[in-house]
Each structure stands twice: as C-alpha cells, then as structure tokens.
Amino acid sequence: MNNNRHDMITTIIGSEKYQLLVKTRSRFALKLSALVLAIYYAFMMVVAFKPALLKTPIYDTSVISIGFPIAAVMFVLFWLLTGWYVHRSNTRYDQMGRDVIQEVLK
C-alpha cells in the first residue's frame, strides 16, 4: 500500500498540471507578500526616520494625526489582499488541484 501511495505522489509531482499549479500559486503568493512587506516596511521607515510626518494633524483643528488613517488604510488593504488570495485560491487553485487529482486517478 505504501508503494502505491508513493507512486501516486510521484505521478502527481511529475504532472504538468501540478507543476503549473505550484508555479502559478507561488508566483501570486510571492507578489502579494512582496507588496505587503514593501508597504509595511515603508510605513516603518517613516515611523523610524520621519515620525514628525505622522504627527501632522489631518486638518488644522484636528486632534487626529495623519498616522492613524494611514495605519487604518494599511490594515484594510492587507485584509482585502488576504481576501483576494483566499478568493483566488478557492476559485482557481482548488479547481486546478481537482484537475490534477482527476488526471492521476485516470
């Protein structure tokens, strides 16, 4: 039974559809990760090197600084990007995975 399982795993890994799935999913995840990290570290650089910029009030009589809405927008953006990945995973990558399994089980 272990040998049969090993053969199936080898067949899946060797499948062109599986290779395409891994390549496509990895590329998308890396792009999203790079985007999130770039935005986050850009914000951290501003916090570290130009903190006065984030202390600037939104308008003259405001008690809220510009840093708060920027951080809130970042939070919402990261949440939306996560939702985008989950949606894409559920609609594209899951179907690609099912196609791989169907190909192997033939």
Q: Convert the pLDDT of each residue in 18-67 to its tens digit.
A: 999 999 999 999 999 999 999 999 999 999 999 999 999 998 888 999 99
Domain range summary for the chain, segments of one domain joined by +: 2-105
Contacts of 63 (CB under 8 A, 6+ apart): 57
| pTM assigned to the model | 0.81
Centroid of chain to Cα 43: 18
